[in-house]
Amino acid sequence: MKDIDLSDYKFTGLPAVTVENLNSLEASDKNQMLMAGVDVEEAGRSGTYLSIDQAGSHCSARVEGVEILDIKQALAKYDGLPGHFWKLIDPDKDKYTKSAAENLHGGYFIKTAKGAKIAEPVQSCLFLKTDGAGQNVHNVIVVEDDSELHIITGCSVAHGSKGAAHLGISEFFIGKNASLTFSMIHNWAETSVVRPRSAGVVAAGGVFLNNYVLLKSVKDLQMYPSIDLAGEGAVARFNSVMVAPKGSYVDNGSRILLNAANTRGEMIARTIASGGDIVARGFIGGHAAPSKGHLECRGLILGGGTIHAVPELMATVDGVELSHEAAVGKIARREIEYLMSRGLTEDEATSTIVRGFLNVDIMGLPGKLKDVIDQTIAETEKDMF
């Protein structure tokens, strides 16, 4: 992991901005947010949280059964959130967690009521607007027993950003037979440095589905969220799609710990280096039986760059079943020829394969967001072949 000198960024003193009406945002900011999954029209959303630079800017819940607060409000309202705040992550873990612990700017607290099935996603955006800004956010997500929630969270910088640092703590608590789908869309710039620190715990019968999409450049991003399947029958699945254009350095992995009987973990990561560098990690630890885990990591190098796949499996008791599949390289010639035999030119065939490779249908994202992602893929494709 590369070191980031936090003194290069301003972590204090930026003005707080309140946004009553999301539509009043500047057009270019709106567009950047849209590319990070945030729809200012809030069509088909159960609520919105927006943080700009160093303070919460907008917070609204539109349906019963889900509470959305700025983290500072939540800490005040719930006596410092003793059961949830800094419970899964050690504030002294590294300098990034320390920075977030010492100087909290914002972040969201999202909590469902027991048994509440929230049909439409809650959206959030952590936005860096000012050049040189450093942002410390801390998010707490509590999905109570028997409830269901989908969060779409976008992180983005303003168009033309000359540099920004995002340090984000996220803690997930998924209750018994509860389900959280957490879809994160990153929309950074070639000058952004990013250090999310995430951990979650899933109770018996709970499900955590994590989707991650990174299609744009980022200067330096490192994260390794960890999920503890603590209750019997809990399930975690990570789907990641990442592209690293020239100048990008992405070190991203996920860790699933099978800590109870009948738990299942699955990771599927698809990465493309188109000039940049990717480290694609994955760790599944089987510490209770019976349990199952599968890790799949596919990487293509299209137009330079490096991919370093680091899949890890660890079993510490009898009766654990873990497997992994990793493949890094180029598009198989026979796939291209197969499509050409149906009448596609070589470029059309390559493009079709790349789009399939980056396909996010499995993530169940809203149609408008999927369209934006498809459009972004079409744009990034130009650097690939």
What residues line the site for another protein (CB under 8 A)?
298, 332-335, 337-346, 349, 352-353, 355-359, 361
CA angle 332, 335, 341 (to 5 degrees): 140
Token look-up 């819940």 returns 61
Residue with Cβ nearer another protein (287 or 370) = 370
- Residue 376: count of CB within 10 angstroms of its CB: 18
CB of 222 to another protein, least distance (A): 27
Residue with Cβ nearer another protein (194 or 353) = 353
Residue with Cβ nearer another protein (296 or 383) = 296
Residue with Cβ nearer another protein (218 or 360) = 360
- The Cα 4–Cα 10 span in angstroms is 13
CB of 270 to another protein, least distance (A): 8
Residue with Cβ nearer another protein (16 or 332) = 332
CB 50 within 8 A of CB 38: yes
Starting from the edge strand earliest in sequence, which strands make up the sheet with 320-329, in order? 55-61, 47-52, 122-128, 148-157, 179-187, 207-214, 235-245, 263-274, 291-301, 320-329
CB of 185 to another protein, least distance (A): 18
Which residue type, as a one-letter code, is found at position 327? A
Give the three-class secondary structure for 71.
Answer: helix
CB of 338 to another protein, least distance (A): 6
Phi, psi of 347 (to 5 degrees): -65, -40
CB 177 within 8 A of CB 149: no
Residue with Cβ nearer another protein (76 or 378) = 378
CB of 300 to another protein, least distance (A): 11
CB of 357 to another protein, least distance (A): 6
